[in-house]
Amino acid sequence: MNIGIFTYGTRGDVQPYIALALGLMDKGHEVTIAAPENFKSFVESYGITFHALYGDAEKYMNAPEGRRILKSENTIKLMKYFFGVLYQVRVPLRKSYIEGFNKVDFIIANAATIPITSAIAEKQNKPMAFTYFMPPVIPTAEFPVADFDFLNFPFYNKLTYKLVHLLFWKFLKPEVNEFRAELGLPVLKENLLTYVGRQKQLDLYCLSPSLIPRPKDWDPQHKITGFLTVPKRKSDFADENPPGLNEWLQQGEKPFYIGFGSNGVGNPEKFVNILTEILNKTNERILFYTGWAVFDNLPQHKNLFVTKYVNHSAILPQCKAGIFHGGAGTLAAMLRNNLPVIIISFYTDQPTWGKIVERMQLGVHIPLKKLSADKLISAIAKVQTDAVRNNAAIIGEKIRNENGLENAVTELEKFFQNQPIPQ
């Protein structure tokens, strides 16, 4: 099969699809990953065919307006800004999607691309499956949407999903119908999620069932597979680490990993002050991965090593715990390596993972707006207790044995093999 994987966003929205693409390629399928153009070298370094979708999310976030909004730590303003930028470039962006579709026969799409991919797939009559790395938004009576977990009983739980779907549709309806009209498709009067759901497409939630068990009242096409893991390569070893890191790691005890990836840390000045205070008040060693964020005046300290990028496969086994934003991919990597975690959540699904981590006693959750040096120092002490470490080790073993990638590939092959071959 000739399969196209369409994803848009940050590195956390691309990296799991590296694993999925390699898993499908190992089964003899042709796979193309379509993602923002700044991920071209990253994807191709794994020998995977790449198709560029218009735009560079890192440039958007580090533009003056993006940095100003990040500094405000206002998640609603940030999401409005990002979707606003994408709408401004909608003409070349949509064109790049259509060009990508023209190269493949079967479609795998992530949540952020559904407004565009669902329309093109319908127009071109191509089978499509959806993949998610966030807590489910498929209605169930078993638990509510995480942001509405004030109560928990069947009627209320189902109602929370209706509310979230309604808000989603209210926000995206004009753009969705504008694009459908361009393609000559009928305008949708019902919620896009309802419309797509009636088509019984495959929904894969690539999450650990040890963290979120599959609800018993779901329809058969909704699956929870387990996290996806990128297969190790020869380059995944220590020689890929930044210069000087291996020597620094050998000079003392295991460090705390701190990294916020593509999300940044909100207000960089505030975080530099917190980092400085931790270094001055504790003896903890810190490996700080800056990612896309831009910092001025980072402290110089023997217990601090700063790098723009790290290789999780090589680094995490050499760390004692992780402090990060709460993205599902990073959480999976941390727990797979038995690391307790401190989640400093900013937006989207991050607070949900933070709540799950606290409920299961795998670490500590601190919303970004409530972050302070004292709270982080207290969390650092808590995640080093025997109870939290033991819980992380138990979950880590379960996640390593879930075969998430194999499960996802099997479900996708089974689904696509039962679809009409595109003409």
Same domain, 111 and 167: yes
Q: Which pLDDT band holds residue 71 (cuts at 50, 70, 90)?
A: low
Same domain, 304 and 357: yes
Same domain, 45 and 170: yes
Same domain, 408 and 394: no
Same domain, 126 and 100: yes
Same domain, 296 and 211: no
Tens of pLDDT, residues 204-239 = 999 999 999 999 999 999 999 999 987 665 444 344
Sign of the torsion formed by the C-alpha atoms of 297, 76, 139 and 195: negative
Domain holding 349, by residue range, is: 234-400
**Side-chain-side CA neighbours of residue 404 (13 Å):** 29
Same domain, 11 and 25: yes
Average pLDDT value over all residues in the chain: 90
Q: Does residue 84 sit within a domain? A: no
Helix, strand, coil tally for the chain in percent (to 5): 50, 15, 35
Q: Residue 236 has what pLDDT?
A: 44
CA triple 244-332-9, angle to 5 deg = 85
Residue 393 scores a pLDDT above 90: yes
Number of domains in the chain: 2
Q: Does residue 48 sit within a domain? A: yes
Q: Residue 310 has what pLDDT?
A: 79
CATH of the domain at 388: 3.40.50.2000
Share of the chain above pLDDT 90, in %: 71
Q: Residue 10 has what pLDDT?
A: 81
What gap in Å lies between CA 214 and CA 135, rounded to an integer?
A: 11
**Predicted structure pTM score:** 0.90
Q: Does residue 193 sit within a domain? A: yes
What gap in Å lies between CA 389 and CA 395, rounded to an integer?
A: 10
State the virtual CA torsion across 342, 238, 37, 288 in degrees, nearest 10. 30
Tens of pLDDT, residues 37-67 = 999 999 999 999 999 999 887 777 767 777 7
Same domain, 172 and 271: no
What gap in Å lies between CA 277 and CA 330, rounded to an integer?
A: 25
Tens of pLDDT, residues 308-331 = 877 888 899 999 999 999 989 899
Q: Does residue 423 sit within a domain? A: no
Tens of pLDDT, residues 116-144 = 999 999 999 999 999 999 999 999 999 99
Q: Residue 230 has what pLDDT?
A: 79
Same domain, 169 and 223: yes
What gap in Å lies between CA 86 and CA 113, rounded to an integer?
A: 11
Q: Does residue 66 sit within a domain? A: no
Region 236-248: what's the mean pLDDT?
70
Q: Does residue 34 sit within a domain? A: yes
Q: Residue 422 has what pLDDT?
A: 61
Q: Residue 263 has what pLDDT?
A: 58
What gap in Å lies between CA 139 and CA 380, rounded to an integer?
A: 36
What gap in Å lies between CA 395 and CA 64, rounded to an integer?
A: 41
Q: Does residue 23 sit within a domain? A: yes
Same domain, 39 and 119: yes
Q: Does residue 71 sit within a domain? A: no
Same domain, 288 and 336: yes
- Residues 324/257, Cβ–Cβ less than 8 Å: yes
Same domain, 273 and 323: yes
Tens of pLDDT, residues 255-303 = 999 998 665 666 788 899 999 999 999 999 999 998 767 777 889 999 9
Q: Residue 346 has what pLDDT?
A: 83
